[in-house]
């Protein structure tokens, strides 16, 4: 009878720990999915856990380059000299 009580207590602790583990794995899965959803498509190669990251690049996308160039152009217009080389 005492052994049965120890077994029941141990099994309840196991079930509790297993429940916590499943919640943690679900959270990790959700974070990974969020990252996949918010990363640019050409960077998705680096997120594939089964492939090496050797081919991944950290070069900005063409959209990012356009935004950067536009911002720099607008910034250059603010200078009083209006020098293109500035």
Q: What is the DSSP string of 22-63?
A: HHHHHHHHHHHHHHHHHS-GGGGGGG-TTS-STT---PPPHH
Please report whether residue 46 resides in a domain.
Answer: no
- Counting the structural domains of the chain, the total is 2
Residues 47 and 35: beta-carbon distance below 8 Å: yes
Please report whether residue 43 resides in a domain.
Answer: no
Q: Residue 26's domain spans which residues? A: 1-38
- pTM of the prediction? 0.46
Q: What is the pLDDT of residue 37?
A: 85
Residue with tokens 């990251």: 53
pLDDT tens, the chain, 86 aa long? 889 999 999 999 999 999 999 999 999 999 988 888 888 777 776 666 665 555 556 677 888 889 989 888 888 777 666 555 65
Please report whether residue 8 resides in a domain.
Answer: yes
């Amino acid at each position: 009878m005492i052994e049965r009580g120890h077994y029941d207590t141990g099994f309840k602790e196991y079930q509790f720990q297993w429940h916590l583990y499943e919640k943690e794995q679900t959270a990790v899965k959700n974070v990974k999915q969020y990252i996949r959803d918010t990363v640019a498509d050409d960077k998705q190669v680096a997120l594939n856990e089964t492939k090496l990251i050797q081919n991944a690049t950290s070069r900005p996308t063409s959209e990012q380059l356009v935004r950067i160039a536009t911002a720099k152009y607008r910034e250059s217009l603010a200078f009083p000299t209006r020098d293109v080389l500035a």
